[in-house]
Structure 1
């Protein structure tokens, strides 16, 4: 069934993944006449609840720190065994129970449980990612790590080394990949790959690198696709900024070695799509933008093929179409959105734009998420520091919700890596628009007098291009001196190799490598 198993690491990642799962849940259809374009078996696992009813729950493994789950309980309405009394023969003494203060459900969650109309969510209503979640999770999916507490100022979970040490400690005690992840792999019929959502500029980056290395050892041939999120608000203090850059460099270096594809995602400091207005202090807001891009860029891996047999593509095919030289395991992600009230009779907006400097509609979109060092204003428009459009090696575009010209329909399978081509292009299209749910923040600017957006047309672009070489060089020269001398040479050499992988065969002889 070409299943994808998801791994979610940390608070920000769980915010983004919650938007993702809410969107997946909205694709379910409940009429024989209304067949879904999405193959639900890719991301959802069938099961049976305690009362015997059939369930569909996410194929995901979730980790967060103590207090990070909010009001979400490991045992929910579908799997509540209600075993209140323990066997008396196991203990003769009087029990002493220490309960943590229980976090109250949000009004939104209560409305879902009661089946009443949901209230309009605001930033003050969303305290945790569970406050706007629309789905149930299997108890096996939820893993709270008690070694660190969410948002602790006494013992913050902010250094790459802390994440690595935490994983190693837990793995020695429990073999957590075998305990937490393997059960989901074993129940899959034909797993197409693993999808990982993690932050890369804090301690979760260290946790992720160890986890991915273990997954690669266990499942050597599996496609491992990583969405590497960065803090929406760059650190203000110099020491914190240096720490974030050091964390990012270490994580990128290690993940690029073991992941099939790493997609770094930083919310642009300027240059968001003109119709997006967000509160950057709200992870609910910021991850809504990131999740829209994630959900659209990977949509083809869960869409039924036009023939009705199989999927439009798989994670492995998507990665191989981008990684033409075997070492191009980092992709740049861009996105444009166009909104239209569903009941409006105006003409459909398009993504057609004119760009200076040689850019086309496929190569330059409104929002560019690739800015690992958070210092490049030009990243907002997909250009390098010289203002030139980068050269593309592998390129994949997904367009949803708008008609396409006949010659721009879904492309065939990616060309073989050995083919002598300058650029390998994959194009995917679907009429399925991105749904705006009641759990999604109202971050879209609407024209006066129009009804709120109910769905969106979205276009995404994934590319391996020469801007990655520029970023690797900048990271190597900017960050290397902030790293311990013991690791500096190794990390610097690995970043230099990545820089070269995106320059080979496409260099004008300039020092910049930005042609």
Structure 2
């Protein structure tokens, strides 16, 4: 069977936090026992290779971008292929009196990374204080990368409050430099040429800083060079920013200006993604997302700190890992292009995402009872300003972690179960489809069930193309329209014209119209 590969791209610090969790999830689910059959085809996202010493490697087919100072102790070219060593004084063909050896002060690795160097088995069943110790995404990274994977922008420094990579137009300009227009494009091509049958690209990008512009230009490049391949773009928004910890009036004013900048970046990003991506899905664990992220989304039985990227990115990574399973299976012919075609009808390029974490399933219970007793919607929206409805939509629902033997009780032990209409369903897919048909109206639902166990909890996630997305776009347009871009020299100095911004706002309204019911009649 031909592997239908996907190339993944990550732009920005929060995107790389999500990526770190996502790749960790992949590797923790790998099966190394020949008799343990996996429904998931790991080759879709991973590639085989060899080190310079001929040792086999299995690494994600991913390229990521971040700023100087964002890697902490992680080597820029990874560790699998590292053969470098410090030269000895007697090996340097210079006069000894003219040699001065200076050694960089190496940052100490966290306990987790030290144990990981000793062997992955040392990290099993050991508790680490990640909430305190994880400062950047590489502090919790289990996965080992290909030497081309990490790309560092040296012109900007991570967490530099005075000269940050904060503007959409900065990212657009960065793409036009030699490092990206040539070098990064070549790295994409190298990965693509290794593939037997490329499905397309996953692109996770920070949605409201300079990486939104860099990622948008990269997607335009993908559209030009790989026009027959699908691009699923995931603009992501943190639910907290460091500048919210202000103590003085001046700090508060600066924070408000940064909020306006983030709104403009999101608006520019959305209009670009609507034109160049096959489908884009904004994600945030907070309800509002734009000027102020707002209240955090509540998930039953989950406690998390919405101020920690480590926590919120783990939730979004769990959603992405589940949503994308449909076209990463060994069996079946559903592809990334099928997903995009199902959800972007009538130019509805923006889709909403939802998550049920965990999918509440009591010990000893059956799915039929669980669904019969369910109160309210199955999932919680993780797209800003979007409350997903129940009528007139296209949706893809994926449930993982419910084995078929937990569907219902045998007939002789079923009791009142056999009085329920759903008892005639023969498998999890059929029962979940039946539930959706009873709880939605005029809706086409594509259901997938993965019975493979997850280590602790079942998860249900969805993608939705629905009329309610109109409110998402309108809310962003309303916030963006309030801002006089000509009063922000940061944007005018990087080339954003007043008329260009006005056109962006008009394009947002055009996108909004695609979700109006009368537009489809």
**Residue 244 of structure 1: aligned partner:** 262
Q: CA deviation at 1:406?
A: 3.3
Say what the alpha-carbon RMSD is for the aligned residues. 3.0
What SS does the aligned partner of 1:318 have? helix
Q: Does 1:225 align with 2:232?
A: yes
Q: Pick from 319, 324, 334: which aligns with 2:340?
A: 319
Q: CA deviation at 1:230?
A: 0.3
Is the contact made by 1:196 and 1:227 (CA closer than 8 Å) also made in structure 2? yes
- 1: CA distance between counterparts of 2:99 and 2:515? 63
**Residue 493 of structure 2: aligned partner:** none
**Residue 6 of structure 2: aligned partner:** 4
Q: Pick from 71, 74, 93: which aligns with 1:72?
A: 74
What SS does the aligned partner of 1:147 have? strand
Q: Does 1:398 align with 2:398?
A: yes
Higher mean Cα deviation, 476-485 or 258-267? 476-485
Higher mean Cα deviation, 481-490 or 267-276? 481-490
CA distance 1:117–1:251, shift in 2 (3 Å): same
Is the contact made by 2:76 and 2:152 (CA closer than 8 Å) also made in structure 1? no
Deviations 1:303-336 (A, max 9, x none): 121xxxxx452111111111122x1111100111
Counterpart mapping for 1:414-425 below 5 A: 423-425=443-445
Is the contact made by 1:410 and 1:429 (CA closer than 8 Å) also made in structure 2? no
Counterpart mapping for 1:204-215 below 5 A: 204-215=211-222
What SS does the aligned partner of 1:175 have? helix
Q: CA deviation at 1:296?
A: 0.6
Q: CA deviation at 1:13?
A: 0.7
Q: Does 1:200 align with 2:204?
A: no
Q: Does 1:302 align with 2:328?
A: yes
Higher mean Cα deviation, 112-121 or 158-167? 112-121
Deviations 1:32-90 (A, max 9, x none): 21122111110110111233222111100011100111211134442122354499799
Q: CA deviation at 1:281?
A: 2.1
**Residue 329 of structure 1: aligned partner:** 349
Q: Pick from 51, 54, 79: which aligns with 2:53?
A: 51
- 2: CA distance between counterparts of 1:188 and 1:10? 26
Deviations 1:233-274 (A, max 9, x none): 167443222222111111011011111110000112244112
Q: Pick from 318, 324, 347: which aligns with 1:292?
A: 318
Q: Pick from 147, 150, 154: which aligns with 1:146?
A: 154
- 2: CA distance between counterparts of 1:203 and 1:330? 21
Counterpart mapping for 1:13-412 below 5 A: 13-82=15-84, 84-85=86-87, 101-115=105-119, 117-118=122-123, 119-122=126-129, 123-170=131-178, 175-233=182-240, 236=244, 237-268=255-286, 269-305=295-331, 311=332, 313-325=334-346, 327-338=347-358, 345-347=363-365, 350=370, 364-371=377-384, 376=385, 379=386, 382=387, 389=389, 391-402=391-402, 403=404, 405-406=425-426, 409=429
Using the size of structure 1 for normalisation, the TM-score is 0.80
- 2: CA distance between counterparts of 1:329 and 1:353? 35
Counterpart mapping for 1:446-457 below 5 A: 455-457=456-458
Using the size of structure 2 for normalisation, the TM-score is 0.79
What SS does the aligned partner of 2:461 have? strand
What SS does the aligned partner of 2:82 have? coil
- 2: CA distance between counterparts of 1:292 and 1:124? 21
Total equivalences in the alignment: 451
Deviations 1:383-431 (A, max 9, x none): 5xxxxx36443211111112564376279xxxxxxxxx96443111111
CA distance 1:95–1:12, shift in 2 (3 Å): farther
Is the contact made by 1:209 and 1:255 (CA closer than 8 Å) also made in structure 2? yes
- 1: CA distance between counterparts of 2:222 and 2:461? 28
What SS does the aligned partner of 1:294 have? helix
Structure with the larger helix share: 2
Is the contact made by 1:324 and 1:393 (CA closer than 8 Å) also made in structure 2? no
Deviations 1:101-141 (A, max 9, x none): 43222110111111263241221121221122111101011
- 2: CA distance between counterparts of 1:494 and 1:94? 64
CA distance 1:171–1:78, shift in 2 (3 Å): closer
What SS does the aligned partner of 2:457 have? strand
CA distance 1:179–1:85, shift in 2 (3 Å): farther
Q: CA deviation at 1:167?
A: 1.9
Counterpart mapping for 1:477-492 below 5 A: 477-482=478-483, 483-484=485-486, 485-492=498-505
Q: CA deviation at 1:182?
A: 1.2
Higher mean Cα deviation, 96-105 or 47-56? 96-105
Q: CA deviation at 1:152?
A: 0.6
- 1: CA distance between counterparts of 2:466 and 2:175? 33
Q: CA deviation at 1:91?
A: 13
Is the contact made by 1:300 and 1:312 (CA closer than 8 Å) also made in structure 2? no
- 2: CA distance between counterparts of 1:19 and 1:125? 16
Q: Does 1:496 align with 2:498?
A: no
Is the contact made by 1:321 and 1:425 (CA closer than 8 Å) also made in structure 2? no
Gaps of 5+ in 1: 306-310, 357-363, 384-388, 412-420, 436-454, 509-515
Larger radius of gyration: 2
- 1: CA distance between counterparts of 2:97 and 2:451? 64
Is the contact made by 1:336 and 1:351 (CA closer than 8 Å) also made in structure 2? no
Is the contact made by 2:24 and 2:141 (CA closer than 8 Å) also made in structure 1? yes
**Residue 491 of structure 2: aligned partner:** none
Is the contact made by 1:192 and 1:223 (CA closer than 8 Å) also made in structure 2? yes
